[in-house]
Amino acid sequence: MKKIFFLGECMVELRAVDNTTLNQAFAGDVYNSAVYLKRCFNEINSVIVTALGKDVLSEKMRHCFAAEQLGTQLVFAHPEKVPGMYYIETDEHGERSFTYWRSDSAARKVVDFFNPAVIDELASGDMLFFSGISLAVIEPRARDIFWQTVRDLKAAGVTVVFDPNYRARLWQSVEETKQQYELAFKSADISLPGVEDLQVLYGVNSVDDVLAHMSQFDINEIVVKNGPESVLTLVDGQLQSHQITPVENVVDTTSAGDAFNGVYLGARLSGACVSDAVSKAAKAAAIVIQQPGAITAKDIFNRAMVD
Ligand code: ADP
């Protein structure tokens, strides 16, 4: 059974239903990807690597992971911390605004739980996925241990996957981000950047610019996403452009890239060629943006995937 580890943070998501009612769910980039991968590729072991607390919401989150059939052997329980949380509101023009409570979340401590048994388990996987958000969440004092672990896993044959997913407010400075991203690009075997993510950091404005920027690193598989525009892939030196059919009634683009990533990696782990993987990933992303929230209801998603 193929196995992929998604390392990062899952949060409590709050969304206004009306003036006095909030809808509560769980979401976070790596979690979203893990869920959509598992829904499309049940035969792959999709495992989440994070730290939660010992509170009621952490308990509910663990149940939610299990209900989505994710592996939870590396979901650690911090004795004092609680999960991060965000509130999302969409205005009448579809613009989203987020309010976060995540600066002291349990997930920031995930690397503290690494030990030889944890590293052995991670080394038993086919892939390790982390994002720019994962890097921002890991505490600076734990970075050396994190990067040493990535090097060890790579040496053990694990494929390292990185999505830059840039969130300016999670970083102290652009220089700090660039320094961490450089280490990530240097370790990655697969990278799935979005044009927007790299715009602010490196002044790149197109998929071609992104590819040119990334060509300085030794990344075997690059998949550049650009919203409704074509996806560009450079795999084993072969450049391909993949047409995307724009969705007309976009409801909420949260997690489009996450769904794309999860399904793309699931397809590749299952042996699909790049163009089949992109087309399945794009189909999943298109379904997700026609529904509110990061995680589309399972029945709606599964039905739409087989149509
Ligand atoms: P992110 O969520 O990381 O910003 P993008 O906005 O680039 O990612 O979108 C990721 C993928 O979602 C795209 O490559 C595409 O497949 C799909 N997607 C995004 N927006 C649209 C859209 N308006 N119509 C159809 N597909 C879309």
Mean pLDDT computed over 10-33:
95
> Which pLDDT score, from 0 to 100, does residue 84 have?
98
Using DSSP's 3-state secondary structure scheme, residue 207 falls into helix
Task: Look at residue 94 in the predicted model and tell me its pLDDT.
Answer: 65
Q: What's the token pair of residue 91?
A: 């205005």
Sequence length of the chain is 307
Structure confidence by residue, pLDDT tens digits, 227-283: 999 999 999 999 999 999 999 999 888 899 999 999 999 999 999 999 999 999 999
Run of H or E residues at 301: helix 298-306
pTM for the whole structure: 0.97
Number of H helices, E strands in the chain: 11, 13
The reported pLDDT for the residue numbered 92 is: 75
Whether 82 contacts 57, CB under 8 Å? yes
Nearest CA to ligand 1 atom 10: 257
- pLDDT for the residue numbered 307: 84
User: Residue 127, Cα to own-chain centre: how many angstroms?
Assistant: 13
Name, in order, each residue with C-beta under 8 angstroms of 81's C-beta and a sequence gap of 6 or more: 51, 53, 104, 105, 106, 108, 109
Q: What value of ipTM does the predicted structure carry?
A: 0.97
**Chain mean position to CA 45:** 16
Strands, E assignment, the chain: 3-7, 11-18, 21-27, 45-52, 71-77, 85-90, 96-101, 127-131, 159-163, 190-191, 221-224, 231-235, 238-242
Q: What kind and span of H or E run contains 38?
A: helix 29-40
Ligand 1 binding pocket, CB closer than 6 Å: 194, 196, 225-228, 231, 244, 246-247, 250, 253, 256-257, 260, 282, 285-286, 289
Indicate which residue's Cα is closest to atom 13 of ligand 1.
227
Residue 159 in this model has a pLDDT that exceeds 70: yes
The rounded Å distance from CA 109 to ligand 1 centre is 31
CA distance 165 to 135: 10
Whole-Å CA distances, 211 to 36, 153, 193, 220, 232: 26, 26, 9, 12, 9
CA–CA gap between residue 268 and residue 287 (Å, rounded)? 20
What's the mean per-residue pLDDT of the chain? Answer: 96
* 97 pLDDT above the threshold of 90: no
Tokens of 10: 């899952």
Q: Whose CA is nearest to atom 8 of ligand 1?
A: 257
